[in-house]
Amino acid sequence: MLNTEDYLNSNLVVSELNRSSYIDWKFSFMHRPVFNSRVEREDLDPIWHEIFKKYSLDMIFSGHNHIYERNLINNLNYISVPTLAGRLSDINSYKFTNNTLYHNLIRGFIIVEIENQKLTLNSYGYNEKSGKIFKFDNLTITK
């Protein structure tokens, strides 16, 4: 988990990624997203996207914005995980790009399953009125 609330040491991350060449699936977990759709929030330093691209990460997960968002940028999957309990963001404070494949202002969670060379990400929402959970997005990657 990368602490994006403080100085991020890219040398330390690169050192770890250099040792990961034998790993089939590579993920990054961070609080703030690399690319930010919220108008009043800045993107992280672009060096992070270049590092993730160089080391062929499969998914980059973040939170912070309290919205579900899935972007594909230079063949990298960026997933902003929705909040289950926190305050929902105002959808009008976002500016989505052509890279945004899916967005939803909803409470929810994700489940990622890996079986051999197949990864499945399922995104679930929570209907506060009915108390029911429902699937609203999914993504499958096969290597």
- Comparing C-alpha atoms, which of 71, 68, 58, 60 is closest to residue 23? 58
pLDDT of 39 higher than 60? no
Contacts for 14 with CB less than 8 Å, ≥ 6 apart: 51, 55
CATH 3.60.21.10, applies to 10-142: yes
Confidence of residue 61 (pLDDT cuts 50, 70, 90): very high
Ramachandran sector of residue 2 (left: φ over 0; alpha: ψ -120 to 50; beta: rest): beta
- pLDDT tens, 68-114? 889 888 899 999 888 887 777 777 777 777 777 777 778 899 999 99
Angle between helices 47-54 and 10-18 in degrees, nearest 10: 0
pLDDT for 4 equals 63
pLDDT for 109 equals 93
> What is the widest separation between alpha-carbon atoms in the chain?
48
Confidence of residue 35 (pLDDT cuts 50, 70, 90): confident
